[in-house]
Amino acid sequence: MESNVRVRFAPSPTGPLHIGGVRTALYNYLFAKKYNGTFILRIEDTDQTRYVANAEQYIINALEWCAIPFDEGPGKNEKFGPYRQSERKDIYKQYADQLIETGKAYYCFDTSEELDAHRKAHEAEGKTFIYNWHNRAKGSLVNSLVLTADEVENRINSGDKYVIRFKTPQDEVLKMEDEIRGNITIDTNTLDDKILFKSDGMPTYHLANIVDDHLMEISHVIRGEEWLPSMPLHVLLYKAFGWETPKFAHLPLILKPVGKGKLSKRDGDKLGFPVFPLAYTNLESGDVSRGYKEDGYFTDAFINMLAFLGWNPGTEQEIFSLEALIEAFDLKRVSKSGAKFNPDKTKWFQQQYMQLKSDETITELFLPILAAKGIVIANEDEKARVQNIVSSIKERAIFVADLWDLSSYFFETPTAYDAKNVKKNWKEGTPELMQELVEIIKNIEDFSSTNTEKEIKEWITNKEIGFGKVMQPLRLSLVGKLAGPHLFDIIATIGKQETINRIENAIAKL
| Minimum separation from the CB atom of position 209 to ligand GLU (A) | 5
Contacts of 136 (CB under 8 A, 6+ apart): 106, 143, 145, 165, 167, 193
**Choice between 46 and 350, CB closer to ligand GLU:** 46
Quickly count helices (H) and strands (E) in the chain: 20, 13
The SS3 call for residue 406 is helix
**Choice between 228 and 500, CB closer to ligand GLU:** 228
**Choice between 248 and 320, CB closer to ligand GLU:** 248
| E-only strand ranges, 200-333 | 220-224, 247-251, 254-255, 280-281, 288-289
Task: Characterize the bridge pairing of strands 163-166 and 105-108.
Answer: antiparallel
| Residues 222-281, interacting with ligand GLU (CB under 6 A) | 223, 227
**Choice between 229 and 314, CB closer to ligand GLU:** 229
| Minimum separation from the CB atom of position 222 to ligand GLU (A) | 8
| Residues 174-213, interacting with ligand GLU (CB under 6 A) | 205, 209
**Choice between 211 and 476, CB closer to ligand GLU:** 211
| Minimum separation from the CB atom of position 229 to ligand GLU (A) | 12
Contacts of 408 (CB under 8 A, 6+ apart): 373
Size, binding site for ligand GLU by CB under 6 A: 8
Determine the length of the chain. 510
* Window contacting ligand GLU (CB under 6 A); options: 10-18, 104-112, 246-254, 272-280: 10-18
| Minimum separation from the CB atom of position 24 to ligand GLU (A) | 7
The SS3 call for residue 375 is coil
SS3 content of the chain, % helix, strand, coil (to 5): 50, 10, 40
**Choice between 16 and 473, CB closer to ligand GLU:** 16
Per CB under 6 A, 11 contacts ligand GLU: yes
**Choice between 193 and 212, CB closer to ligand GLU:** 212
* Window contacting ligand GLU (CB under 6 A); options: 9-17, 303-311, 366-374, 426-434: 9-17
Contacts of 113 (CB under 8 A, 6+ apart): none
Per CB under 6 A, 30 contacts ligand GLU: no
| Minimum separation from the CB atom of position 185 to ligand GLU (A) | 21
| Residues 63-122, interacting with ligand GLU (CB under 6 A) | none
Residue 280 bridge partners (DSSP): 289
| Minimum separation from the CB atom of position 126 to ligand GLU (A) | 34
* Window contacting ligand GLU (CB under 6 A); options: 5-13, 98-106, 293-301, 476-484: 5-13
| Residues 147-176, interacting with ligand GLU (CB under 6 A) | none
* Window contacting ligand GLU (CB under 6 A); options: 7-15, 112-120, 190-198, 315-323: 7-15
| Residues 206-225, interacting with ligand GLU (CB under 6 A) | 209, 223
- What DSSP state is assigned to residue 308? T
Angstrom CA distances, 363 to 17, 384, 385, 409, stand at 31, 9, 10, 17
| Minimum separation from the CB atom of position 12 to ligand GLU (A) | 4
Whether the Cβ atoms of residue 192 and residue 261 lie closer than 8 Å to each other: no
**Choice between 227 and 404, CB closer to ligand GLU:** 227
> Which amino acid would we find at residue 198?
K
Q: How far apart (Å, rounded) are the C-alpha atoms in residues 61 and 293?
A: 11
CA 253 remoteness from chain centre: 14
Whether the Cβ atoms of residue 58 and residue 353 lie closer than 8 Å to each other: no
Which residue numbers are catalytic? 265
Whether the Cβ atoms of residue 471 and residue 382 lie closer than 8 Å to each other: no
Q: How many angstroms separate the first and last alpha carbons of the chain?
A: 72
| Minimum separation from the CB atom of position 248 to ligand GLU (A) | 9
The DSSP annotation for 442-505 comes to HT----SHHHHHHHHHHHHHHHT--HHHHHHHHHHHHHSSS-SS-HHHHHHHH-HHHHHHHHHH
Task: Using the Cα atoms of residue 312, residue 314, residue 318 and residue 324 in order, give the sign of their dihedral.
Answer: negative
Cβ neighbour number for residue 55 with a 10 Å cutoff: 21
| Minimum separation from the CB atom of position 227 to ligand GLU (A) | 5
Query: Which of these, 97, 90, 98, lies nearest to 242 by C-alpha position?
Result: 98
Per CB under 6 A, 12 contacts ligand GLU: yes
**Choice between 10 and 390, CB closer to ligand GLU:** 10
CA 57 remoteness from chain centre: 15
| Minimum separation from the CB atom of position 303 to ligand GLU (A) | 20
**Choice between 209 and 430, CB closer to ligand GLU:** 209
Q: Where are the alpha helices (DSSP H) in 2-104?
A: 19-34, 55-65, 89-101
The footprint of ligand GLU (CB under 6 A) covers 10-12, 44, 205, 209, 223, 227
